[in-house]
Amino acid sequence: MLFAIQLTCFNQYAELEGINQQLQFNVYFQPAYSIDSKCVAFNNSKAVVYLQYLDAGAVKEITSEFQYYSDRNLTVEVKSVANATFQAMALLSRLAYKVNISGQLEFPGSFYRIQNTQANISNCWSDLQLKYLRVGPGAYLSLEAQPNFCAIRDPVLEFQYLVSGEWHSIEIKANTSTGPGGFKFPYVHLDTKFYQVFKDQLNESQQNEFNMFFEQFTIDRSLQLRMQMHYTTAGSTLIKQIVSQVLVTQSDNNQYLENIKVRSIVSSLGFDVIGEFSQLADIDQKYKVQLQVLFQQMQLELYNDLYNLAQMLSITFYFREENISVLQLPDNLQMQFFFVIYDDETIIHEESVFVDVIISCFTAMNIIVSRSETSVVVFPTNTERCAKLYSNGLPIYVEQVLQLDKTTVSRTTFQAMLKELKFEPRQFYKLELGRANALTTSNFTLAEGDFYQRQKAYISKAKSSTMTLTYVTNNFEFFNNLDIAFEDTATLLYPTIGIFGGILIGIIIYISIVTPNLQ
């Protein structure tokens, strides 16, 4: 038997809270001030709350079970509400409820306060990213994000970038022909995953803004970017605003960088960017390239001929001054590498990629060569991370190369050696490599003779060669030493910090290429 009585077991201050990102409602009940004995009789009983709302003129409801107690405040959670239902309810300013206790006592009520069912303007999107295609007839900007629940109608959107304290805007228009997830009308926020701007669909003024954005972005790769939305809600003409910062910016077409397979290591003097740049040989070699690194809000750049770049395995970006503090940074950091192709003064292609950064465990490595051996003087950072990394020893590869004339094809390897390197907590120490460490494979043509004959020939030809190159590498270190000390001048190296491994257009031999067995 159901008691349909004119009473309520709760006072008039029932509240409803909508939790936007969880698609959940919380109902807060307080006991009536003069509670009816019938309510007390059903203490500690099963109950059901019905949240009622109007949809297209019809009363609809969602339900949740709870345990009823007559002597305390209650919180009833209505979880896993369907997206469409939550959105429809969040647009309404009036909602009612009905409670049924134990299938026998039922009474209606209305909410004194409804809160947080409108847009949460601080978190309408998660991880807003900008992807772009800079040049060509299909040039575009694409703002991509995972939408969170926000009750939004009639949105007007702009992409904005900050220059000299002033925000510049590019309008984002709805596209009726866009695919699933694209910005279109009628607008459903939870279904919209990307907002696109196509340059060829903009008027002349907006195309100028489009071009200006990329001009500024080339100068400052950490340019502040955001998406701004103006919108209304149901039953209101008040225009509201959401502003969301762009967290990641990257190119949407990396046809070259995907093949180059870029990696990077940072030392106290700069970044070595390592990759298979020979993959660029198929591009017209008349072009020039601009190479940029963005790391921890620090931007470094180089210019080079594409022909030269295609001959390399690494590029070094030097800091303006030595930076020992960079070696104390934690693991799992990334840098962004930009690759821009120019035809005269015009940019014809741009790509960017995020690269894991390996932090060196050494501030420098110096080379000493004698007739009987080659020594590497290492200067460790003495950090806990590096001591642990090298605690059991790691193989280190050393290759002595001379470029005998102006052409790269004249490069000849005189020694290729492999030895285990262990970490020692000292200011510097020496790793000695001799005949027992010699390998018969190398990256360039190996000079004739046995170990000692090659060592003697190296010393003899070093002074007349165009370039001396010594590579000291493994999976965590990439040093390229151009200056070599021979036995009679070796003592001059010890009081100094040493010569950093790396040159502006140097070559570094990546350990997985030169010695696959080290993997």
CATH number for the domain including 14?
2.60.40
Residue 1 has pLDDT above 80, yes or no: no
Listed residues 66, 85, 115: the one ending a domain: 115
Burial 218-248 (b: 16+ CB within 10 A, else e): beebeeebbbbbebebeeeeeeeebebebee
Domain boundary among the residues 359, 390, 418 is at 359
Q: State whether 349 and 267 are in the same domain.
A: yes
Residue 501 — pLDDT band, cuts 50, 70, 90?
Answer: very low
Specify whether 441 is located in the same domain as 427.
Answer: yes
Last residue of a domain, one of 359, 380, 395: 359
What average pLDDT does range 416-442 have in this prediction?
94
Is residue 433 over pLDDT 60? yes
Rounded CA-CA distance 319/306 in Å is 23
Report the percent of the chain where pLDDT is more than 90.
53
Could you tell me if 238 and 169 lie in one domain? Answer: yes
More confident residue, 408 or 301: 301
Is 120 domain-assigned?
no
Q: Are residues 369 and 490 in the same domain?
A: yes
Residue 218 forms part of a structural domain: yes
Q: What is the mean pLDDT of residues 422-432?
A: 92
Give the total number of structural domains in the chain: 4
* pLDDT, mean of residues 89-99: 81
Query: The whole model's pTM is what?
Result: 0.68
Question: Both 149 and 111 in a single domain?
Answer: no
**2, pLDDT greater than 70:** no
Pair (143, 239) in one structural domain: yes
Least confident of 213-227, 402-416, 502-516: 502-516
Report residue 283 as tokens. Answer: 């591009």
pLDDT at 490: 47
Output the pLDDT for position 256: 93
* Per-residue model confidence (pLDDT) at position 235: 60
Residues 233 and 268 reside in one and the same domain:
no
- pLDDT category at 236 given cuts 50, 70, 90 is low
The residues facing 473 across adjacent strands are 397, 478
pLDDT of residue 459 exceeding 90, the answer is: yes
* 326 in the same domain as 186: no
Q: What is the mean predicted confidence (pLDDT) over 97-115?
A: 87
Residues 118-135 have pLDDT tens digits of: 444 456 888 899 999 999
- Are 314 and 274 within 8 A, CB to CB? yes
More confident residue, 443 or 461: 461
Cα–Cα distance, 175 to 196 (Å, whole number): 8
386 assigned to some structural domain: yes
pLDDT value of position 226 = 93
Q: Are residues 366 and 351 in the same domain?
A: no
Q: What is the mean pLDDT of residues 57-82?
A: 92
Q: Is residue 447 part of a domain?
A: yes
Domain of 188 in residue numbering reads as 125-251
Query: For the residues 233-237, what does the mean pLDDT come to?
Result: 64
Please check whether residue 476 lies inside any domain of the structure. Answer: yes
- DSSP structural state of residue 447: P
244 or 507, which is more confident: 244
Residues 297 and 440 in one domain: no
Mean pLDDT of the chain: 86
Q: CB-based contacts of 383: which residues, under 8 Å, 6+ apart?
A: 327, 328, 361
Q: Is residue 433 part of a domain?
A: yes
Residues 185 and 73 in one domain: no
Q: CA-CA distances (angstroms) from residue 83 to 79, 146, 265, 294, 339?
A: 11, 14, 46, 40, 42
pLDDT tens per residue, range 43-67:
999 999 999 988 877 889 999 999 9
Closest Cα to residue 406, out of 293, 325, 308? 308
Of the candidates 81, 53, 52, 77, the residue with the CA atom closest to the CA atom of residue 65: 77
**DSSP at 31:** B
Q: Which residues contact 489 (CB under 8 A, 6 or more apart)?
A: none
Assess whether pLDDT exceeds 70 at residue 3.
no
Q: What angle do CA 19, 20, 22 make, to 5 degrees?
A: 70
For 389-414, write each residue's pLDDT tens digit.
999 999 999 999 999 998 878 999 99
Q: Is residue 203 over pLDDT 60? A: yes
Q: Which two tokens stand for residue 314?
A: 């690494």
Q: CB neighbours of 503 closer than 8 A, spacing ≥ 6?
A: 316, 480, 482
Do 87 and 75 share a structural domain? yes
